[in-house]
Amino acid sequence: MALVTVTDSARDYLAQLIEKQDVEGMGVRIFVTQPGTRNAETCLAYCPPNEIVPTDEQVDLEKFTLYLDHNSVPFLEDAYVDYSKDQMGGQLTIKAPNAKVPQVSDDAPLPDRVNYVLATEINPNLAAHGGDVQLVEIVDESVAVLRFGGGCQGCSAVSLTLKQGVEKTLKEVVPEITEVRDVTDHSYTENAYYQ
């Protein structure tokens, strides 16, 4: 079963919302749209009894049942739902670190492990500049061939990003990687973060 943590404050908040729906047996369904892609989003929705999917996993949260979408389960590992009060009322937060790429084991194929590091550690940092990097292929069993996009394509700082950021992180986390190569056409600079 996927480990989804729902804090007490989130349980109470969701229970209050469910109560207002005035539907006997109403629950909450958690799912990931476009799981395993960079466009993945983790969502919560009301789940009335007539919409329960038999293959979904059920978690009894005492005040209501949480339904985990069967196809989303690998992507919901370590998901976290919290509610915090603020001056505007409050904020419901859903964090699912494995929504874009499911967590992989140490013995997973090399491309899967590289893609996991790119999705969870490297691309979130590059996104601050509107950039991203994708794995093209692994060559010679230890060389990651990458393509930069968005604000990284044509950026004047991309060689520094490649060596000091991407390559360093990949080598640390995936020791089989000995080198990283960039096959991006950096002559296209229209979206470059640094020109």
**What CATH number does residue 139 fall under?**
3.30.300.130
Q: Please check if 43 is assigned to a binding site.
A: no
In the block, tokens 């892609």 appear at 37
What's the whole-model pTM score?
A: 0.61
Let me know whether 52 and 118 are in one domain.
no
**Which two three-digit tokens encode residue 16?**
């209050």
Q: Please check if 47 is assigned to a binding site.
A: no
Let me know whether 126 and 150 are in one domain.
yes
Range of the domain at 115: 110-182
pLDDT average per 10 residues of sequence, the chain (195 residues): 85 96 95 85 95 94 94 90 89 89 81 87 82 91 89 74 85 94 74 61
Let me know whether 73 and 120 are in one domain.
no
In the block, tokens 């990949």 appear at 170
Let me know whether 137 and 84 are in one domain.
no
Domain-located, residue 195 = no
Let me know whether 119 and 85 are in one domain.
no
**Which two three-digit tokens encode residue 6?**
């729902």
How much is the pLDDT for 161? 77
DSSP characters over the chain: ---EEE-HHHHHHHHHHHHHHT-TT-EEEEEEESTTSTT-EEEEEEE-GGG--TTSEEEE-SSSEEEEPGGGGGG-TTEEEEEE--TTS-EEEEE-TTSSS----TTS-HHHHHHHHIIIIIHHHHGGGTEEEEEEEEETTTEEEEEEEETTTT-TTHHHIIIIIIIHHHHHH-TT--EEEE---TT--TT-S--
How much is the pLDDT for 142? 93
Domain-located, residue 66 = yes
How much is the pLDDT for 192? 56
How much is the pLDDT for 34? 86
Domain-located, residue 17 = yes
How much is the pLDDT for 51? 94
Among 95, 120, 139, the domain boundary falls at 95
